[in-house]
């Protein structure tokens, strides 16, 4: 079952069970996917998103919510921070398990070897290889500096 089908059935389930918080978050996910599909129509590309595209959208949504929760906590708005954190829990249910630090290091080593990277100028190739294989499984903002250290 593809990711879009899973999201659709989860949305229907949340409606039936009258789980308002989960339903709200699932509708946000659905809206983000529709927005991307609409944006793709104008470019003439395939309008059906792949699982990789959807994982990218979900990862971005999680990152945005982490940033919002942090800002709310700093501003003393704990109830809003809790709402953001509960949305993260719903979104992460559709993401693959995150790689551990050790597994991320191994993945970086494999990617460096597979593209034949020798210097910092090859960082883009390494990151591209990692993104094609591990989208949704690693935080590329955290992985970038790790790759840079290896190649630098």
pLDDT in tens, 75-103: 999 999 999 999 999 999 998 888 888 88
pLDDT (tens digit per residue) in 44-71: 766 678 888 888 899 899 989 999 999 9
Q: If you ran DSSP here, which 8-state letter would residue 122 be given?
A: G
pLDDT score for 46: 67
CA torsion through residues 18, 19, 24, 30, sign: negative
What domains lie within the chain, and their CATH numbers?
3-92 (1.10.1510.10), 101-151 (1.10.10.410)
* 83 closest CA partner among 96, 73, 74, 93: 73
pTM: 0.75
Looking from the CA of 121 toward its CB, the CA atoms found within 13 Å total: 1
Instruction: Give the model's pLDDT for residue 95.
Output: 87
Rounded percentage of the chain residues whose pLDDT exceeds 70: 97
CA 103 to chain centre: 18
Q: Which two tokens stand for residue 8?
A: 């659709």
> Where is average pLDDT lowest: 6-10, 52-56, 70-74?
52-56
Average pLDDT over residues 98-123: 88
Mean pLDDT of the residues in the chain: 89
């Amino acid at each position: 079952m593809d990711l879009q089908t899973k999201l659709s059935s989860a949305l229907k389930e949340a409606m039936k069970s009258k789980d308002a918080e989960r339903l709200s978050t699932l509708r946000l996910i659905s809206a983000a996917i529709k927005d991307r599909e609409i944006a793709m129509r104008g470019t003439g590309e395939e309008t059906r998103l792949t699982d990789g595209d959807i994982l990218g959208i979900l990862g971005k949504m999680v990152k945005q919510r982490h940033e919002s929760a942090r800002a709310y906590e700093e501003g003393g708005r704990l109830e809003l921070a809790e709402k953001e954190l509960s949305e993260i829990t719903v979104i992460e249910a559709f993401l693959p398990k995150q790689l551990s630090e050790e597994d991320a290091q191994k993945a970086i080593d494999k990617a460096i070897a597979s593209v034949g990277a020798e210097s910092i100028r090859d960082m883009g190739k390494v990151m591209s290889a990692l993104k094609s294989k591990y989208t949704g499984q690693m935080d590329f903002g955290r992985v970038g500096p790790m790759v840079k250290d290896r190649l630098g």
